[in-house]
């Protein structure tokens, strides 16, 4: 299950962000998963819940969205949405496509609670 390693890597980034922003709690995390990554949303949700236990992100809402794959045919220049197992250009039938979207996992936004500086004085 590669969702656990994705969640663990995401947690490393979230802890770094929380530290940089002096956050006391992470409330919401928004992630865009490229279709090529074949992330199972339910599995990523469970993995996220597991890696956030006893961290500032415990109980945070995880919002996931999927980015469709987009390819560009190197032979004819046609842009198309390939299937996960079919990268043939629908225009010229060439098997020479460059994937230009749908292969990344992006941490789009993080909502944090920041300790109130005024309460410290």
User: How does strand 23-34 pair with strand 105-114?
Assistant: antiparallel
CATH 3.30.420.40 corresponds to the domain 2-68+102-115? no
Q: pLDDT tens digits, the chain, 121 residues: what are they?
A: 699 999 999 999 999 999 999 999 999 999 999 999 999 999 999 999 999 999 999 999 999 999 999 999 999 999 999 999 999 999 999 999 999 999 999 999 999 999 875 455 4
79-80 sheet: strands from edge to edge: 79-80, 70-73, 97-101
Where do the domains of the chain lie?
2-68+102-115
Structure pTM? 0.84
Give the closest residue to 5 by CA, choosing from 44, 32, 58, 31. 44
């Amino acid at each position: 299950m590669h969702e656990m390693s994705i969640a663990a890597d995401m947690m490393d980034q979230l802890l770094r962000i929380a530290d940089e922003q002096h956050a006391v709690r992470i409330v919401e995390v928004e992630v865009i998963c490229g279709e090529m990554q074949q992330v199972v949303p339910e599995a990523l949700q469970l993995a996220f819940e597991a890696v956030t236990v006893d961290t500032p992100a415990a109980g945070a809402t995880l919002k996931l969205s999927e980015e469709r794959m987009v390819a560009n045919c190197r032979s004819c220049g046609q842009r198309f949405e390939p299937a996960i197992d079919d990268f043939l250009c629908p225009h010229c039938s060439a098997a020479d496509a460059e994937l230009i979207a749908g292969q990344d996992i992006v941490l789009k936004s993080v909502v944090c609670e920041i300790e109130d500086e005024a309460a410290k004085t």
